[in-house]
Amino acid sequence: ADVDAGETVFNANCAACHAGGQNVIMPEKTLEKEALESYLSGGRNEKAVINQVTNGKNAMPAFGGRLSDEDIANVAAYVISSSESGWE
């Protein structure tokens, strides 16, 4: 997957709710390392992000059908990479 392409997908589709890896709707459910380890179904890995982005969860919309599988894989790689580097 392409992390740089994933950043572009993130800025266009995710940043409204997740700017800086945060969460404006459910503040504890951030995209930071510890939160993903605690809350993401399936654990902190790209497959688990792909599943949540494709299907949505509660107030988070589903992106399956709106984004290509490639865009979703790239944005998942960007989320995991950024959770490791600390979202700067």
Residue ranges binding ligand HEM (CB under 6 A) = 13-14, 16-18, 23, 25-26, 29-31, 35-36, 39-40, 49, 52-53, 57-61, 63, 75, 79
Nearest to ligand HEM of 20, 40 (CB atom): 40
Cα separation of 10 and 86, whole Å? 16
CB of residue 50 vs ligand HEM: minimum separation in angstroms?
9
Which alpha helices (DSSP H) does 1-88 contain, by range?
3-13, 15-18, 33-39, 46-55, 69-85
- Distances 51 to 29, 30, 64, 86, 88 between C-alpha atoms, Å: 16, 17, 9, 22, 25
Nearer to ligand HEM, 1 or 26 (CB): 26
Closer CB to ligand HEM, residue 3 or residue 17? 17
Least Å distance between CB 47 and ligand HEM? 11
Name the DSSP class of 62.
P
